Amino acid sequence: MALDLEDWSRARELAELLAPVVDGFKVGMRLFYRVGPAVWDYLRGKAEILFADLKLHDIPSTVAGGVRALVASGVNLLNVHAAGGSEMLRAAREAAQEEAERQGYPRPWLVAVTVLTSLDEVALRRELGVPEPLAERVLAWARLAQGCGLDGVVASPREAALLRRELGEDFLLVTPGIRPTGCLAEDQKRTATVTEALSLGADWLVVGRPILNASDPLAAALSIRREMEGNGSCAKKK
């Protein structure tokens, strides 16, 4: 469940309401930059997965420092940008391992962001100067992440089948852009329903606005949960 909110009071209210029916909470820039590390103190124990969706992307030493801080705060899933390159990815992996050992925590899952779900083929080629097809770029960055020892990637459900086929069953696929039938895609370009994403090979689904914007967020979350369970979904364990 993505707590993509700026209102800390509302975020706490939803966390209390939805904790019994979601596997985890994702906290991104909107909430983290307003609340800071206190968000993890509040959410700890309310869900199995605490996902720091901060998409770290900087020189290796800076990213390593950010990873250490997040691991020390108790998150167990965090992401970096694959576009940062192999040195940055390895530094992040080593920092996560070392800090987890120092704190006495299990090492968190570390995943790399590939191509944002707000981008499509046209934007990738014309604006960012990436000549190859979008799926090929996603796969290339995913291969890089796997080679650097990361646990998986963040990618749209539209690339999930390709990644699963090429990178194996143990590679973690975290998929945003989930839109239950009838929901608007909004600024997401590459989306899928719950059933589609799971059938394509996704492991963990990130759902935010379809729940946050619902008139009854609990009912919306329960509906998504039932659809996931009907497709045999379960959390991947380390």
pLDDT per position as a tens digit, 11-34: 999 999 999 999 999 999 999 999
- How many CB atoms neighbour CB 172 within 10 A? 19
Q: Where are the beta strands (DSSP E) in 31-143?
A: 49-56, 77-81, 109-113
* Helix or strand holding residue 195 (H, E): helix 194-200
Least reliable range by pLDDT among 178-187, 209-218, 219-228:
178-187
Q: Which residues are catalytic?
A: 55
- Among residues 162, 142, 153, the alpha carbon closest in space to that of 203 is found at 153
**Residue 232 — very low, low, confident or very high, per pLDDT cuts 50/70/90?**
low
In contact, 186 and 170? CB cutoff 8 Å: no
pLDDT per position as a tens digit, 61-101: 999 999 999 999 999 999 999 999 999 999 999 999 999 99
Model pTM? 0.89
Average pLDDT over residues 164-178: 94
Calculate the dihedral angle through the C-alpha atoms of 203, 207, 210, 215, rounding to the nearest 10 degrees. 120
Q: Where are the domains of the chain?
A: 8-230
- How many CB atoms neighbour CB 153 within 10 A? 29
Architecture of domain 8-230: Alpha-Beta Barrel (3.20)
**Residue 230 — very low, low, confident or very high, per pLDDT cuts 50/70/90?**
confident
In contact, 197 and 159? CB cutoff 8 Å: no
Average pLDDT over residues 149-163: 94
Average pLDDT over residues 200-211: 92
pLDDT for 106 beyond 90 = yes
Longest dimension (CA), the chain: 47
